[in-house]
């Protein structure tokens, strides 16, 4: 079977949006999600990304997103929550980001939406897991959603179609090497 006929057969198959979770202590959760973004854009899909923690500084992915026609990218966080001086500001940012997600899901314009570092907002009780699952389980049938971050809530894991746990074996940060431009952000 030719590559073209295989692609056509797959396109005609019933599309079912999947809920994917990348969690764990290891590096690579956002990177894996952005790989799926790149793949979806290559297929001409409309993609949305909402970053719940990142937002205080301009990352490489945010710069890349500015040039992409089919990509809506919103870095809406206030930085690392564990370094916050004002958790109320972080909570408000999380709620505003969730409102953006809810709007994106309900619009039925996207084939893929990435919720980067959403798990932290649940872990720190900024957002309610049942509210999140209400939206995600009633999303348009064709919509894929990827959630990233450590400490994924057990309810999220149960609801997901795919869960991958990243496990740290070794990390340069442990040897005092800071995050690297172009690799980490």
Average pLDDT, the chain: 90
175 in any annotated domain? no
Say if 92 falls within a structural domain.
Answer: yes
Instruction: Quick: pLDDT tens for 91-100.
Output: 899 999 999 9
Asked if residue 173 is part of any domain, the answer here is no
Range of the domain at 81: 16-167
Q: What is the token pair recorded at 184?
A: 């980490």
Composition of the chain by helix, strand, coil, percent to 5 = 45, 15, 40
∠33-34-35 over CA atoms, to 5°?
Answer: 90
Q: How far is CA 101 from CA 53, 104, 114, 149, in A?
A: 14, 5, 9, 16
Q: Which residues pair with 21 in a beta bridge?
A: 147, 163
152 contacts: CB under 8 Å, gap ≥ 6:
21, 23, 119, 163
Does 160 reside within a domain?
Answer: yes
Tens digits of per-residue pLDDT, 99-139? Answer: 999 999 999 999 999 999 999 999 999 999 999 999 999 99
Residue 184 lies in a domain: no
Q: What is the mean pLDDT of residues 40-59?
A: 89
Choose among 25, 29, 24: nearest CA to 54: 29
Residue 8 has, within 13 A of its CA and on its CB side, a CA count of 5
Cβ–Cβ < 8 Å for 119, 147: yes
What's the CATH code of the domain at 47?
3.40.50.300
Asked if residue 9 has pLDDT above 70, the reply is: no
Residue 87 confidence (pLDDT): 79
Q: How many folded domains does the chain comprise? A: 1
Residue 1 reports pLDDT greater than 90: no
């Amino acid at each position: 079977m030719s590559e073209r006929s295989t692609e056509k057969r797959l396109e005609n198959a019933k599309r079912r949006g999947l809920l994917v979770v990348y969690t764990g202590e290891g590096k690579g959760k956002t990177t894996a999600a952005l790989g799926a973004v790149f793949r979806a854009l290559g297929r001409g899909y409309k993609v949305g990304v909402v970053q719940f923690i990142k937002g205080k500084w301009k990352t490489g992915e945010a710069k890349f997103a500015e040039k992409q026609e089919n990509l809506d990218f919103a870095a809406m966080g206030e930085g690392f929550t564990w370094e916050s001086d004002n958790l109320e500001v972080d909570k408000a940012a999380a709620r505003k980001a969730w409102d953006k997600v809810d709007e994106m899901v309900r619009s039925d314009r996207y084939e893929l939406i990435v919720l980067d570092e959403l798990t932290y907002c649940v872990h720190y009780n900024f957002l309610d897991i049942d509210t999140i699952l209400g939206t995600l389980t009633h999303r348009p049938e064709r919509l894929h959603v990827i959630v990233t971050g450590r400490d994924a809530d057990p309810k999220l894991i149960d609801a997901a179609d795919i869960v991958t746990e990243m496990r740290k074996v070794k990390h340069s940060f442990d040897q005092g090497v800071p995050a690297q431009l172009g690799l980490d952000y």
